[in-house]
């Protein structure tokens, strides 16, 4: 069946958010008296939600002198104050979404990022208009790799799984798509290639502008 709905991960798929995530992480570490992390280190920590990110940041610097819950609250405050300061859409994203929307595709966000931060990023980079539906890391009791957020997003769009595809840059996206019964398109340009392991997505893209061609191939299969 031809795909008519597309579920998108956010960080590493639509936007390069590591500069702002790393800045917040390093502000937190500085407050604790620890040296900063390289943004490339932070990129490898993204994909499992903010709690895991903060846990990994603290572990990387052996920062155990603060309760994780307190550190999480502080990180969220630091990040949300500048969630779209350095974050930018990947090349071709806005134009690509416009072109796909003109062809009748409907979109939803399916991310492990918390909802307030997701909204701040989408509004800050000018992409909010594309996404009337968002399932975030705190929207449901479960998050990716559980398929629940994908299925909930499709229910809100009113689209069956067989008419959808998931685009993301992390193994969680592939696993969530598989569990929901939808094709998984892997964004190799993002942060999560090393997480893929032996998983085999239905397709891969190296640039966002390759997505329409991949969708044509999937719809013909």
Half-sphere exposure at residue 147, Cβ-oriented, CA atoms within 13 angstroms? 16
Could you say which of 9, 11, 20, 202 is catalytic? Answer: 9
- Cis? peptide before 145, omega within 30° of 0: yes
Domain count, the chain: 2
Which residue, chain included where needed, has tokens 């796909």? 100
Statement to judge: residues 179 and 121 lie in one domain: yes
CATH number for the domain harbouring residue 55: 1.10.150.240
80 backbone dihedrals φ, ψ, rounded to 5°: -65, -25
Binned at pLDDT 50, 70 and 90, residue 3 comes out as confident
Element (H, E) at 29: helix 18-31
Confidence (pLDDT) at 1: 57
Residues 102, 24: Cα–Cα separation, whole Å: 37
Write down the mean pLDDT value for the chain.
Answer: 95
Contact call for residues 38 and 18 (beta carbons, < 8 A):
no
Instruction: Examine the domain organization and report whether 61 and 46 are in the same domain.
Output: yes
> Is residue 216 classed exposed, middle or buried when 0-12, 13-18 and 19+ CB atoms within 10 A define those classes?
exposed
- What angle separates helix 171-180 from helix 148-157, to the nearest 10 degrees? 60
pLDDT in tens, 69-119: 899 999 999 999 999 999 999 999 999 999 999 999 999 999 999 999 999
Give 219's pLDDT tier (boundaries 50, 70, 90): confident
Pairing mode of beta strands 88-89, 164-168:
unpaired
Same domain assignment for residues 102 and 61: no
Quote the pLDDT of residue 201.
Answer: 97
Q: What is the pLDDT of residues 120-131, one digit of tens each?
A: 999 999 999 999
- What confidence tier does 145 reach under pLDDT thresholds 50, 70, 90? very high
To the query of whether residue 9 is one of the catalytic residues in this protein, the response is: yes
Q: Give me the pLDDT at residue 68, please.
A: 80
Q: Which residue is it, tokens 């134009």?
A: 95
Same domain, residue pair 67 and 101: no
Residues 95 and 174 in one domain: yes
Q: What are phi and psi of 96, to 5 degrees?
A: -65, -40
For residue 130, the domain's CATH number is 3.40.50.1000
Say what angle helices 50-60 and 68-80 make with each other, to 10 degrees: 110
Name the strand (E) or helix (H) holding 116.
helix 115-124
Same domain, 24 and 111: no
Of 27, 53, 80, the last residue of a domain is 80
Residues of the chain with pLDDT > 90, as a percent, come to 92
Same domain? 151 vs 75: no
Judge if 95 and 172 occupy the same domain: yes
Task: Name residues whose C-beta falls within 8 Å of residue 75's C-beta, 6 or more positions apart in sequence.
Answer: 24, 25, 28, 50, 53, 54, 57
Tens digits of per-residue pLDDT, 20-35? 999 999 999 999 999 9
Tokens of 174: 């592939």
Q: Which of 36, 65, 80 is the last residue of a domain?
A: 80
If asked whether residues 157 and 206 sit together in one domain, one would say: yes
Q: Mark which of 29, 52, 80 sits at the end of a domain.
A: 80
| Kind of pairing between the strands at 5-8 and 15-16 | unpaired
Residue 134: per-residue pLDDT: 98
pLDDT at 153: 97
* Residue ranges making up the domain that contains 36: 18-80
* Distance between CA atoms of residues 191 and 161, nearest Å: 26
């Amino acid at each position: 069946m031809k795909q008519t709905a597309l579920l998108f991960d956010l960080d590493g798929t639509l936007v390069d958010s590591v500069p702002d995530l790393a800045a917040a992480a390093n502000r937190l570490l500085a407050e604790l008296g620890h040296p900063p992390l390289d943004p490339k280190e932070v990129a490898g920590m993204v994909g499992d939600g903010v709690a895991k990110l903060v846990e990994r940041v603290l572990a990387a610097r052996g920062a155990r002198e603060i309760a994780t819950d307190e550190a999480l609250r502080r990180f969220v405050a630091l990040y949300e104050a500048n969630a779209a300061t350095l974050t930018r859409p990947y090349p071709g994203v806005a134009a690509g979404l416009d072109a796909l929307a003109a062809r009748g595709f409907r979109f939803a966000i399916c991310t492990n990022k918390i909802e307030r931060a997701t909204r701040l990023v989408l509004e800050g980079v000018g992409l909010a208009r594309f996404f009337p539906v968002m399932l975030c890391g705190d929207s449901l009791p479960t998050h990716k790799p559980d398929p629940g957020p994908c299925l909930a997003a499709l229910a809100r769009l009113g689209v069956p799984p067989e008419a959808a595809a998931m685009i993301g840059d992390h193994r969680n996206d592939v696993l969530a798509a598989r569990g929901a019964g939808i094709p998984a398109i892997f964004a190799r340009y993002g942060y999560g290639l090393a997480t893929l392991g032996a998983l085999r997505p239905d397709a891969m893209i190296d640039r966002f502008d390759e997505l329409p061609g991949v969708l044509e191939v999937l719809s013909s299969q």
